[in-house]
């Protein structure tokens, strides 16, 4: 499993326009106290701590792929070229 730090997570979520409350709703019921967890992430005091929840790491990976596709499309690359860059890096490509 890929190791993602709080700092990496918050940087991407800010780029994606997500806030702590959005993530609390997204992860309600997936692990204990998501509000407390995401509030700690947003505080920035634990920037170098690795995220312990597999569901959060999987969510980060999906959002990173989506953001990369959006960024590359802005540069004029086709989706098939972009997906090819991810082969073997992450889980199976997006549909």
pLDDT tens per residue across span 73-94: 888 866 666 666 655 554 444 4
Q: Is residue 39 part of a domain?
A: yes
Tell me the backbone φ, ψ of residue 5, rounded to 5 degrees.
-90, 165
Instruction: Indicate the pTM of the whole model.
Output: 0.76
Q: Is residue 60 part of a domain?
A: yes
H or E, element range at 8? helix 6-15
- pLDDT tens across 40-58, in order? 889 888 999 999 999 999 9
At CA 8, angle to CA 49 and CA 73, rounded to 5? 165
Q: Is residue 91 part of a domain?
A: no
Q: How many domains does the chain have?
A: 1
What is the domain range of residue 60?
6-86
Q: Is residue 32 part of a domain?
A: yes
């Amino acid at each position: 499993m890929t190791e993602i730090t709080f700092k990496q997570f918050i940087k991407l979520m800010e780029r994606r326009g997500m806030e702590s409350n959005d993530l609390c709703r997204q992860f309600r019921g997936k692990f204990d106290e998501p509000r407390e967890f995401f509030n700690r992430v947003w505080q920035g005091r634990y920037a170098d701590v690795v995220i312990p929840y597999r569901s959060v790491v999987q969510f980060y990976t999906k959002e990173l792929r989506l953001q990369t596709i959006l960024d590359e499309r802005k540069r004029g690359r086709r989706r098939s070229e972009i997906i090819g860059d991810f082969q073997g890096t992450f889980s199976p490509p997006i549909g």
